[in-house]
Amino acid sequence: MRPVDTIARLLRPRDEIGAARVLAVALVLAMVATVGWEVVGWQQGRPGSDAGSVASSLVALAIVGLLAAVLVRVPHRVPTLAWPVVAVVQPLATAATVVAAHDASAGAQFGLVYAVVFAASQFGGVFAWSVTALAVSADAWIVFSVLDPGPAASDLLVVACALPMITLVLQLTNAHQDRLRARLDELAGADSLTGLTVRRRLVEAGTRALAAGRPTGLLVVDVDRFKELNDTHGHPVGDLVLVQIADLLRASAGDDDLAARLGGDELALLVRGDHDAVRRRALDLRDAVRGHHWRRPGLAPTVSVGWVTAHPGWGFGELYEAADRALYEAKAHGRDRVVGAPGTVGGAGHP
C-alpha cells in the first residue's frame, strides 16, 4: 500500500454517518455549554459576560444547530480531510479561547473532552491517541497559562489520566464491535448446512475476477436424483450427503478457488485458472463422489457437473448460464457425467 493510501486510511472515519452524528451532537452540546457559561457569568457579574454575550452565544448555537442538521443529512458531502481537521482544531481552539478568557475552571477544561470522544469513537488507534495527546498538551497550555504551578500540575494530572481512559474505553469498544461485525459477516456469508460460501458471495467474487480479467471458470454441480434419495432414505440422510459432497468439493478446490452452495442440492466452484484447471476440478469431484465410501447400504449418490471457462467480456451471468446449460446436458445424457459448455476447449462430455 502506498504511503498516501496509508495516511488516507488513518485519517478516514470508521463510518461517515456515525461520525456525522457524533460530531453534530458534540458541536451542539459544546455550544449549549457555552450559552450556559455565559448565562451563569452574567448572573455572577463576571467581566465580559452580559446580555450581549448571551445573545451572541445563542445566535452561535442556532447556527451550529443548523450546520449539525445539515451534517447529519449529507455526511457524504463532507470532504475526507474535514473530519480529522475538526478533531485537531477543536482542542487548540478551546485552549486559545480559555486562555484568552483567563479561565481554567473544570468546566472550561472539560471542553477538551469533545474532541477526544469524537476521535476515539470514530477513528483508528493512531489518530485517536494523537488527538488525545494533543488535548492533554492543550490542557497543559491552559493550566500553566492561568494557574499557579501547583494547582496547574494537579489539574493536568487529573486530565492526563481521564482523557486516555476515555480513549482506551472507546477504542476497546470499537475493537469489540469490529470483531462482532466480522463474525456476523462471516456467518451471513456461509451456508448453515454445508459451511460453503453462499450464492451472493460467489457472484461477488466471480464478478471481481472477471472484471480483473483473470482466467476464470465455473463448475455447477447437481446431486443426481436427490429427491428420490430423500424419499428413500429420509431428509437427514439427504443432508448428510450434501454435507459430504460439499466436503469433497472443498477438497478438490485449489487454493484460489471458491466453493459455494447455490441452493437446494446445487453446488458450485469458482475456479481461478484456465480450461485445463477447470476441467480437472470437475473430473476430480465426479471421481471423488464415485469413490466415496458412504457407510450406508443402498446409498451410492452421484453428481452431474457442468463446467465452463469465461470468454472475454463475459460477466458472471453469462458464466453461470453457460455452466448451467452444460449441467443440463450432463443430466440429459444419463447423469454421473462431466460436460463442458459448447465452445469450451476440452468441453466434451466425460461419462
35-38: long-range contacts at Cβ-Cβ below 8 A with a sequence spacing of 24 or more?
Answer: 35/61, 37/107, 37/108
> Which residues of the chain carry a pLDDT beneath 50?
345-348
167 class by beta-carbon count within 10 Å (0-12 exposed, 13-18 middle, 19+ buried): buried
C-alpha cell at 227: 429427491
Helix, strand, or coil here: 213? coil
How far apart are the C-alpha atoms of 263 and 305, rounded to whole Å?
Answer: 15
347 domain-assigned: no
Are residues 292 and 169 located together in one domain of the fold? no
Question: Which pLDDT belongs to residue 351?
Answer: 54
Are residues 178 and 212 located together in one domain of the fold? no
How far apart are the C-alpha atoms of 256 and 270, rounded to whole Å?
Answer: 9
Are residues 184 and 201 located together in one domain of the fold? no
Are residues 335 and 204 located together in one domain of the fold? yes
70 class by beta-carbon count within 10 Å (0-12 exposed, 13-18 middle, 19+ buried): middle
349 domain-assigned: no
Nearest to 202 by CA among 122, 272, 146, 281: 272
Of 139, 156, 188, which closes a domain?
A: 188
Tell me: the pLDDT tens digits for 221-265? 999 999 999 999 999 999 999 999 999 999 999 889 999 999 899
Question: Which pLDDT belongs to residue 346?
Answer: 44
Question: Which pLDDT belongs to residue 271?
Answer: 95
Are residues 175 and 147 located together in one domain of the fold? yes
| CA dist list (Å): 171 to 122, 126, 138, 149, 159 | 9, 11, 21, 33, 18
First to last CA, the chain: 48
Domain of residue 34, residue span: 3-188
Nearest to 86 by CA among 111, 61, 112, 119: 119
Question: Which pLDDT belongs to residue 344?
Answer: 56
Q: Report DSSP letters for 243-274, one per residue.
A: HHHHHHHHHHS-TT-EEEEEETTEEEEEEES-
Of 143, 166, 188, which closes a domain?
A: 188
Question: Which pLDDT belongs to residue 347?
Answer: 47
346 domain-assigned: no
Instruction: Give every CB contact of residue 49 below 8 A, 6+ residues apart in sequence.
Output: 37, 38, 40, 41, 42
Are residues 172 and 130 located together in one domain of the fold? yes
Strands 258-263 and 197-198: parallel
Question: Which pLDDT belongs to residue 324?
Answer: 95
350 domain-assigned: no
Tell me: the pLDDT tens digits for 178-227? 888 877 776 667 888 998 999 999 999 999 999 999 899 999 999 999 99
Of 141, 161, 188, which closes a domain?
A: 188
Q: What is the CATH number of the domain that holds 292?
A: 3.30.70.270
Question: Which pLDDT belongs to residue 343?
Answer: 62
28 domain-assigned: yes
Are residues 64 and 202 located together in one domain of the fold? no
C-alpha cell at 169: 474505553
How far apart are the C-alpha atoms of 34 and 110, rounded to whole Å?
Answer: 11
> What stretch of H or E contains 339?
strand 338-340
Are residues 138 and 217 located together in one domain of the fold? no
Does 178 qualify as catalytic in the annotation? Answer: no
Q: Could you tell me how many residues make up the chain? A: 351
Are residues 160 and 98 located together in one domain of the fold? yes
Are residues 16 and 162 located together in one domain of the fold? yes
DSSP 8-state symbol, 341: P
Strands 216-223 and 258-263: unpaired
* Helix extents (H) in 189-315: 199-211, 226-233, 235-252, 275-291
Are residues 176 and 220 located together in one domain of the fold? no
Q: Report DSSP letters for 150-179, one per residue.
A: HHHHHHHHHHHHHHHHHHHHHHHHHHHHHH
Question: Which pLDDT belongs to residue 302?
Answer: 94
Q: Which of 265, 274, 287, 336 is catalytic?
A: 265
Per the structure, the count of domains in the chain is 2
Are residues 201 and 333 located together in one domain of the fold? yes
